[in-house]
A and B are shown apart, each in its own frame.
Chain A
Amino acid sequence: MVKLKEVAETATFAWSHDSMPLMATGTLAGAMDDTFSNDSSLQFWDVLNKQQSLAKFSLESKFTSLAWSPSSEKYEKGLLAGSFENGSIQLWNPKLLLENSDLNAGSVAEYKKHTGSALQVKFNPLQSHILGSSGTKGEIYIWDSNKGSSFTPGQAMSPMDKVSSFSWNNSQSHIFASAGNTTYTSIWELKAKREVLQLSYSGANLSVVEWHPTESTKLVTASDTDGNPVILTWDLRKHTTPESILQGHRKGVLSLDWCKQDPSLLLSSGKDDSTILWNPLTGQKLCEYPSLPNWVHETKFAPKLPDVFASASFDKKILVQSLQDTSPPVSAKVNSANEDDFWNQLSSTDTQQPVFEVKQAPVWLQRPVSGTFGFGGKIVVVKKEQNKSVVEISSYKGSSTVKEAAEKLES
């Protein structure tokens, strides 16, 4: 990893859908810092360019989650949604917040339906005016931000407690999954208005859930059980047993993010203070990133710049880093002949480095097609045909070149 930025906040966060993304952070509920402060703030950061936050707003309640929708005709910079400890869901127009530095001017809506804490809010990936929110006492609401209306997804199979994880299916807008501090993950269908399936696995909670970026029947769950911190991949067509089991976390898993551009990349983070990159299709652990000083409660790819991701820890730290780091090991970086210099250099060097087990390049770097000219009227073309590449050398009709160039010079 190449460390790009550190934000000194104990906060939940959301990335904007820009190719040079902004980050929004909201003070995390349930995490006391060393000052025992009750202050809560919403902040915006340009993590790739600037040190200071772009804007800061004070709020009454602390955040449990943040979500940022893609841009739409109505909202150029998308919508920002926060879920709160006091049960409310707030919607803002981030463009107005950044322009006016006034929280009220940027406020779009406030929803108060949850009777306990709201724990998670997510925009529907296919219909960005639809949101889902989940909370304590098994409460789940589906909101339409155009109409300001809401409904519940219907009857649960069994009574639930805290629903701390909520994930929309990425290809079927009426399907979502929910999970919490129970041994099962629920699949819901909004047309039928009911819970249609439950996934369970003995010996572990299925407390975190995330859908496959493109295949509607596939999803991944993770366990926050310290004794069995497994990540399981599932295909709902055979929902009684998981497809594969990813083992590597030493304590409970708290967060998952499946890369939208490359289904062979999945991030997870947890109570063992670590962030791990997996290939969930092969079950391989690709990389373990340097650990943070405390539980890593959240990890997310920047949606339009997936070379970059952030991990948020309970210890006043959100680390923004790049997926890959090919720099030589620390022992090679610190190579001073002088003893004092050696210790000085060592103490000022980041001693932790990611451990790569497989060199797997993300799909967005894999150029599938290439045409380059050679001399003598030749062009070499590489094309992808049925996942194989074919190379062709052909001639092109360009022999009138000298004549035309001469005409152009004269004109």
Chain B
Amino acid sequence: LVTIGNAHDDLIHDAVLDYYGKRLATCSSDKTIKIFEVDGETHKLVETLKGHDGPVWQVSWAHPKFGVILASCSYDGKVLIWKEENGVWSNIAEHGVHQASVNSISWAPSEYGAVLLCTSSDGKASVVEFLEDGSQKTMVFQAHAIGANAGSWAPPHKDNVKERRFVTGGCDNLVKIWKLDPQANNYIEEAVLSGHTDWVRDVAWSSSLLSKSYIATASQDRTVFIWTNESIGNHSGWKKQLLTADKFPDVCWRASWSPSGNVLAISSGDNRVTLWKESLTGKWESAGEVDQ
């Protein structure tokens, strides 16, 4: 549909559409973020955001109820928050608690407020809440022995907004489930999921409306696991299943669920993005490939 070549001077590591599919944000090793307006089959570069002092790994749009807000994370150890107002972009906040590359950012379900989960090569995860008065509330904790590569929020609990969870993956080959302890006002480790034999590159918790929880984890070991849980909160409740018995030809870098939660996209180092669906018998089947 839309192809954008030569957008940046160096490799692009992430590209995401906003909630309306009208704006695309891209980020690159050239240290910049670009915003494109997308309309049908046309696209127009509207802004280049400069502020990071290293490659920018990931960008993430906040829920539109907070305004036009984009978060970005970089090898420089920082997370920057950008806002557009009347066509003018500006950097409105900086989150600088990490001691090494910040590898992923993920906005929490909007019910929790403007809350961002960050994971870093310093092994820590942080959850920062941006309050309306401009101040920030931050929690930082050790997540993986070395190198937290990715984080993803669970969909909000339908009755209890305080029952919050997310998943992280790291260079210790582990996947961990974290749960908010409202008394201690911190996140505690609820479950450790092991099975990968090399770095966990990405984790994605499906926002599916189904009663079961689904997490996809993509790894350097060229496999993807689907973790399911029918009664969340039960430590032993997580069951793992290989997405496919054959290993991928290269590193699995990214896992992304469709908004409705029934299609999974896996991006692998052989430059392919494959789509997967669960059959009615509970097996995962190929649903084709993007660009075919």
Contacts and interface: CB of A to CB of B under 8 A. Distances in A.
Q: Are A and B genuine complex partners?
A: yes
A307 B101 CA distance: 11
A159 to B, nearest CB: 47
Given A2-B122, A374-B21, A326 B290 contact: no
A371 B265 contact: yes
Interface stretch (B72-80, B109-117, B132-140, B159-167): B72-80
Contact of A384 (B1, B259, B271, B290): B271
Task: Provide the main secondary structure of the chain B interface.
Answer: loop
B256 A372 contact: yes
Interface stretch (B3-11, B178-186, B233-241): B3-11
Given A19-B198, A365-B75, A401-B260, A391 B99 contact: no
B214 to A, nearest CB: 12
Interface residues of B, number: 78
Interface stretch (A91-99, A128-136, A403-411): A403-411
A379 B271 contact: no
B256 A371 contact: yes
A20 B290 CA distance: 35
Given A374-B16, A379-B265, A389-B11, A305 B146 contact: yes
B280 A391 contact: no
A326 B100 contact: yes
Contacts of A390: 3-5
Contact of A375 (B53, B201, B259): B259
B15 A380 contact: yes
Interface string B254-275: 1011111111011111011101
Interface string A112-144: 000000000000000000000000000000000
A395 interface: yes
A373 interface: yes
Contact of A391 (B7, B78, B103, B290): B7
B172 A361 contact: no
B26 interface: yes
Given A324-B121, A373-B257, A380-B16, A396 B101 contact: no
Contacts of A372: 14-17, 254, 256, 265
A402 B288 CA distance: 19
Contacts of B272: 369
B103 to A, nearest CB: 7
B265 A384 contact: no
A259 to B, nearest CB: 15
B171 interface: yes
Interface in A274-307: 304-305, 307
Interface string A359-397: 101000111111111111011111111011111111111
B280 A392 contact: no
B2 interface: yes
A361 B17 contact: no
Nearest to B259: A375
Nearest to A325: B99
Interface string B74-101: 0111100000000000000000101111
Nearest to A369: B267
A398 interface: yes
Nearest to A391: B4
Contacts of B209: 405
A360 to B, nearest CB: 9
B284 to A, nearest CB: 14
A52 interface: no
A305 B220 CA distance: 12
Interface in B130-168: 145-147
B24 interface: yes
A48 interface: yes
Contacts of A327: 77, 99
A86 interface: no
B246 interface: no
B253 A367 contact: yes
B253 A368 contact: yes
Nearest to B6: A388
Contacts of A397: 287-288
30 contacts: A2-B122, A20-B145, A20-B146, A305-B171, A324-B75, A324-B77, A327-B99, A328-B96, A361-B55, A361-B75, A365-B121, A368-B253, A368-B271, A370-B13, A370-B15, A372-B14, A372-B256, A375-B259, A378-B1, A379-B256, A381-B267, A382-B14, A383-B273, A385-B271, A392-B2, A394-B290, A396-B290, A398-B287, A401-B258, A408-B210
Given A327-B99, A382-B13, 6 more contacts: A365-B103, A366-B55, A382-B26, A390-B3, A391-B7, A401-B263
Closest 7 CB pairs of A and B: A326-B77, A374-B17, A371-B273, A389-B12, A393-B2, A359-B54, A401-B260
Interface of B: 1-8, 11-21, 24, 26, 28-29, 38, 53-55, 57, 75-78, 96, 98-101, 103, 121-122, 145-147, 171-173, 197-199, 201, 208-211, 253-254, 256-263, 265-269, 271-273, 275, 280, 287-288, 290-291
